[in-house]
A and B are shown apart, each in its own frame.
Chain A
Amino acid sequence: MMKKSLALLLALSLVLAASLALADTFKMGIDAEYPPFSYLDDNGEYAGFDVEMCKAVCEMNGWDLEIVPVNWDFKLNSLDSGEHDCVWSGMTILDSMKEAGYVLSFPYYDNTQVVLTKEGNGIATTADLAGKRVAVQLGTSGQELLENDQSALSATFEGGAAVTMENFNICGTELAAGSVDAVVIDLPVAQTLQKKFSGLVILDENLGSEQYGICFRSGDDALCAQVEEGIMKLVEDGTYLSLAEKYGLDPNVLCLLPKAE
């Protein structure tokens, strides 16, 4: 009797293990400090526009979602090594990624790079940034922008370059504390920081336009197409728009919506 039940238990666990292996897991690589796209919410759960979009796509495809917070500096290395299947976290599509062979989804969000500063810093236009201490998060498209397209601007900063920081939270802290004068930052993140620290203002100037997309390993074209298909369904059924509203994103920057006349 004992033996029989043991055998049964063994068989059961084998079946269980097999079914677990069969159910596909989709590992989503995120920057866990990037509100409102991906962050830890007040309950200690990962939330955000990108996280919820991904959840919905996974449900549609019957995948188990595993959220993998990554070190943003090394996101492509950990993608290559298989720690996660994609980078989906307010990630700007860069030409250098395409050149390196990564598979990139269509853009799902139009972003602009702006300057966030504090009232009383005497900065009204980007020209006022000359000689000022300007910060940017390392590994963001803002950093890339300052090194390339806006390198003439960044040469006017104190020290001839922007100070790179580990995350936007530290940028916000230093801005609020007065140890930096301005931060070059993605518009939605700037708006989130405004809610957190008082007295921050966004300059009415667009430093650069860019688009967010999802990055997959080279060769994962099929996976990318499957995710894109799922996203298009979410656009059609209105989830895309309602999630954007939930996270306070401007509908005008949702580039997948059919353009209104």
Chain B
Amino acid sequence: MTILTMIAKMSEGLGRTCAIFFLTLLFSLPLGMLVALLRMSKNRAVSTVTKVYISVLRGTPLMLQLLAVTYGPFYLFGLGVAREKLVPVIIAFALNYAAYFAEIYRGGIESIGRGQYEAAEVLGYSRYQCFLRIILPQVVKRILPSVTNEVVTLVKDTSMAFTVAYQEMFTIGKQIANSQTSFMPFVIAGVFYFLFNAAVAFVMGAFEKRLSYYR
């Protein structure tokens, strides 16, 4: 098998890798905000439950969560296993990443001084208006580097979907490595991930630049 054939074969799985990446972001970014708000809730029960959610999702390996979401229903309740693995994969990834994003959001929101809320109130802003128009834009700006960190990690974590037999790019690479007794597919995978992340870093960098309006 030539290197070009390997690249072509592995590219077939790249679409599935991208599917995990974009769908996870699509669900976990908003879900993370919801979790962050619940975590900061004044209701003790709500914030405690959310705290437990975050500590379980952050405290156990993603690989285990993938297995639990995919095969848990079968072993626990005798239910079936999804034929299309994208569904359990996205559920596990979104739940996991939402926990991380929630804590990043919370850090950002709590870093905004109390005085701004008071000032907004004096100026007649409602709580919603204050949060959406004054607090949130500042939060986004502050947390962007931390979010980029997580997004970059997500690119590399997509390879874990192999645990539940989702045939993404790295899985195909491993198949080729085995049948060809070659290390080349791993090199190719490394280059793929690096280029993917270079693109992510570029986009996030552009965002940061747009948001640096005080310079």
Contact = CB atoms under 8 A, between A and B. Distances in A.
6 contacts: A94-B181, A163-B165, A170-B165, A173-B71, A177-B79, A179-B81
Interface string B61-104: 00000000001001100011111000000000000000000000
A239 interface: no
Q: Chain A CB within 10 Å — which of B82, B175, B180 has the most?
A: B175
Nearest to B178: A139
A165 B178 contact: no
A163 B162 CA distance: 10
B58 interface: no
Interface in B112-156: none
A57 interface: no
Contact of B174 (A73, A96, A147): A73
B188 interface: no
Given A77-B183, A164-B165, A179 B82 contact: yes
A143 to B, nearest CB: 7
Given A96-B179, A138-B162, A170-B165, 13 more contacts: A96-B181, A97-B181, A99-B181, A143-B175, A144-B178, A148-B179, A164-B165, A164-B171, A174-B165, A177-B80, A179-B82, A179-B83, A180-B83
Contacts of B163: 166
Interface in A135-183: 135, 138-139, 143-144, 147-148, 163-166, 170, 173-174, 176-180
A177 B74 contact: yes
A164 B180 contact: no
B167 interface: yes
A21 interface: no
Contacts, number: 62
A77 B162 CA distance: 20
Contacts of B167: 163-164
A173 B179 contact: no
B177 A179 contact: no
Contact of B178 (A73, A163, A176, A177): A73
A76 interface: yes
Contacts of B80: 177-179
Contacts of B81: 173-174, 177-179
A222 interface: no
Interface of B: 71, 74-75, 79-83, 162-165, 167, 171, 174-175, 177-181, 183
A133 interface: yes
Contacts of B82: 179
A23 interface: no
B76 to A, nearest CB: 12
Interface of A: 73, 76-77, 94, 96-97, 99-100, 133, 135, 138-139, 143-144, 147-148, 163-166, 170, 173-174, 176-180
Contacts of B79: 177
B178 A173 contact: no
A161 to B, nearest CB: 8
B64 to A, nearest CB: 13
Given A173-B74, A179-B80, A179-B82, A143 B178 contact: yes
Given A174-B165, A179-B81, A179-B83, A96 B74 contact: no
A165 B165 contact: yes
A164 B181 contact: no
Contacts of B177: 73
Contacts of A173: 71, 74-75, 81
- 9 A-B pairs with least C-beta separation: A179-B81, A177-B81, A165-B165, A139-B178, A96-B181, A177-B74, A100-B181, A179-B83, A73-B174
B181 A76 contact: yes
A227 B17 CA distance: 44
Contacts of A94: 181
Contacts of A76: 181
